[in-house]
Amino acid sequence: MERSQMYRQLANMRKALFDQGFLDEQFVQLEELQDDANPNFVEEIVTLFYRDSTRLIHNIEQALEKNPLDFTKLDSYMHQFKGSTTSIGAKKVTNECTQFREYCKAGNGEGCKRTFEQLKKEYALLKKKLEAYFQLARQIGPVESACRPK
């Protein structure tokens, strides 16, 4: 595929991620930190996020299997997790985190479990989309590929 085509495809992918609500403004913040010295900064941050959050997801999963549920602990894990999702601009995942915390506050175990399933789906879906995005970005190489949304 011709480079300019790839470039356009990348821009479209990026736009879709924002338009469809997968990413928010915080992601743009990360992009603005990317420069010649750190040309893959955003990808590195996202990779770090997925690596580090695996442990948290696991902890939450285990905590959800306990009986009775410790909502304080669950909320605390989710607070931590949400801190990370927010900082990479993972909008949909963050929304699920917020919802989960609402259910914790309400002591609604079923709600927590349902939301967590949804969260994991969003988390996995975003990962796939971003992987595809970064893969294409790498193919194009160090070209200024970000189009700022208005």
Partner 1 sequence: MHSSLTLISDFSIPDLVLMMQGSIWISSNSQGHAQSMTLVLRLLIQPFRRGMFELGTLLEQSKSNSIFTSLQVILADDDDGNRTVTKKMLEKLGCRVSAVASWFECLSALGPTGNSYQVIVLDLQMPEMDGFEVAMRIRKFRSRNRPLIIALTASAEAHVWERCLQMGMSGVIRKPVLLQGMADEL
d(CA 74, CA 110): 13
Specify the residue for token string 């010295």: 37
User: Which of 136, 116, 6 shows the shortest CA–CA distance to 71?
Assistant: 116
**Identity of the residue, 14 or 82, whose beta carbon is nearer to partner 1 in the bound complex:** 82
Q: How far is the CB of 48 from partner 1 (least distance, A)?
A: 4
Task: Please give the residue ranges that form the binding site for partner 1 (CB under 8 A).
Answer: 25-26, 29-30, 32-33, 38, 41, 44-45, 48-49, 51-52, 79-80, 82-84, 86-88
Pick 80 or 145: Cβ nearer partner 1: 80
Contact 11, 145 (CB under 8 A): yes
> What is the nearest approach in angstroms of partner 1 to the Cβ of residue 75?
13
Residue 76 CB, nearest approach to partner 1 (Å): 10
Q: Is 137 exposed, middle or buried (0-12, 13-18, 19+ CB in 10 A)?
A: buried
